[in-house]
């Protein structure tokens, strides 16, 4: 870079082009050049040399000498009658002797270039780290690159690789090349680069996706009260409309169920169900147990006895009843589930029909099922 007159005369152009290419301020490039030059040149017999730099139409480099009455090392002394003084300039009690950088050795020039690009890469890494920090807790998509032990490596583009850990893989079989969405959970600086930790389990992950697909949430028209979630299996999102004329569930599902399908693509294989908020806990429970309807609900201090028809009751017991357990935790009440038909067979069918299914509705469903 510094060997020929032509290249040296265009050094300012080179600085500008490099700054533009790497999206780094030209002043930063100048500092990098200075640091690279010093690291490469100030070695061996030049170790104690002071250098001065001038960036204008080209790069000018000087050995800088202080004018003193006496020196400690005679080998570095330039006497007042030394012919070399004609090659430099005295300014502010210093003598500046220009270096003939056009005729530097090839190895020195190469070393300077190497140090220059190394410094630029460090700046780029820092910028990349700062940009990622700004994206923390934001949705990002990537392709599965490969698996190694307990880590799934995700290609995020721009030479970035994210780490997705095994405890979040669920029982679903993921494959190389599969496109998935993640939340950036944490970014750590490490010796060999950055550790970008990704998650799909975080509740914020689902909230962000809901906000992306349902603008009314961002606008405050629809409020997410709570999310009851079994990551990788099922989420029940409790919503409320802040405007009487807005149907909260219909708005979230979207015309032709378009919104709910799009959300499903983000969180696949997890399913999502939208439930309507109600300040009455019993009515809210009915909403959360949907599509299963409740025949009877009896409350005993910290326990609810819930009687449901056999039809669709298996939905509440699916996946080892994890969602039913999660609903119990949400209400801070134990939920004891009983099947109405089983109670009838045992001769214990005296119930109070105080749920969201009437006796007439139950009988009507029986007739329809027989047909």
**Residue limits of CATH 2.40.50.140 in the chain:** 136-199
Tell me if 293 sits within 8 A of 357, measured CB to CB: yes
Q: Domain 202-277: which topology? A: GMP Synthetase; Chain A, domain 3 (3.30.300)
**Residue-wise pLDDT tens for the chain (371 aa)?**
333 344 444 455 666 676 777 777 777 777 877 887 787 778 777 777 888 888 766 678 888 887 777 666 666 666 666 766 777 788 888 888 888 776 665 566 666 667 777 777 777 777 777 777 777 788 989 999 999 888 999 998 878 888 999 888 876 788 899 999 999 888 887 767 778 899 999 899 999 999 999 999 999 999 999 999 999 899 999 999 998 889 999 999 999 999 999 999 999 889 999 999 999 999 999 999 999 999 999 888 889 999 999 888 888 888 888 999 999 999 999 999 988 888 888 876 677 889 888 888 888 888 777 66
**Residue limits of CATH 3.30.1480 in the chain:** 5-132
The whole-angstrom separation of Cα 151 and Cα 163 is 6
pTM of the model: 0.68
Q: Given CATH 3.90.580.10, say whether it is the number of domain 136-199.
A: no
**Residue limits of CATH 3.30.300.20 in the chain:** 202-277, 281-371
The whole-angstrom separation of Cα 113 and Cα 40 is 9
The whole-angstrom separation of Cα 285 and Cα 19 is 61
Q: Give me the CATH code for the 281-371 domain, please.
A: 3.30.300.20
**Kind plus residue range of the DSSP H or E element containing 113:** helix 106-134
If you write DSSP's letter for every residue of 312-338 in order, what string do you get?
TTHHHHHHHHHHHHHHHHHHTSEEEEE
Q: Give me the CATH code for the 5-132 domain, please.
A: 3.30.1480
């Amino acid at each position: 870079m510094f060997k020929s007159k032509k290249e040296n005369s265009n050094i300012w152009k080179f600085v500008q082009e490099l700054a533009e290419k790497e999206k780094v301020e030209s002043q930063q490039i100048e500092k990098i050049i200075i640091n690279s030059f010093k690291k490469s040149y100030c070695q061996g017999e030049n170790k104690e040399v002071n250098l001065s730099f001038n960036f204008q139409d080209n790069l000018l480099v000087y050995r800088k000498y202080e004018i003193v009455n006496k020196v400690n090392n005679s080998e570095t002394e330039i006497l007042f009658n030394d012919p070399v003084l004609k090659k430099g300039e005295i300014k502010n009690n210093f003598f500046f002797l220009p270096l003939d950088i056009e005729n530097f050795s090839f190895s020195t020039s190469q070393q300077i270039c190497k140090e220059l690009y190394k410094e630029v890469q460090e700046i780029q890494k820092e910028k990349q780290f700062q940009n990622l920090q700004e994206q923390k807790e934001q949705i990002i998509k990537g392709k599965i690159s490969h698996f190694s032990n307990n880590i799934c490596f995700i290609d995020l583009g721009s030479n970035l690789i994210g780490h997705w850990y095994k405890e979040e893989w669920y029982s679903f079989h993921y494959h190389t090349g599969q496109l998935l969405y993640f939340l950036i959970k944490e970014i750590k600086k490490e010796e060999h680069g950055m550790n970008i930790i990704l998650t799909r389990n975080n509740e914020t992950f689902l909230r962000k996706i809901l906000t992306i697909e349902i603008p009314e949430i961002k606008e405050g028209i629809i409020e997410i009260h709570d999310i009851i979630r079994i990551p990788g299996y099922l989420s029940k999102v409790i919503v409320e409309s802040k405007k009487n004329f807005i149907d909260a569930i219909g708005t979230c599902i979207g015309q032709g169920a378009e919104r709910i399908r799009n959300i499903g693509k983000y969180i696949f294989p997890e399913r999502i169900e939208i439930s309507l908020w109600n300040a009455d806990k019993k009515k809210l429970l009915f909403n959360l147990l949907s599509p299963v309807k409740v025949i009877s609900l009896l409350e005993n201090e910290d326990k609810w006895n819930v009687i449901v028809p056999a039809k669709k009751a298996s939905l509440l017991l699916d996946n080892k009843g994890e969602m039913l357990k999660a609903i119990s935790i949400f209400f801070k009440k134990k939920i004891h589930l009983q099947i109405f038909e089983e109670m009838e067979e045992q001769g214990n069918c005296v119930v109070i029909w105080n749920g969201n299914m009437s006796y007439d509705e139950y009988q009507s469903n029986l007739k329809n099922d027989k047909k």
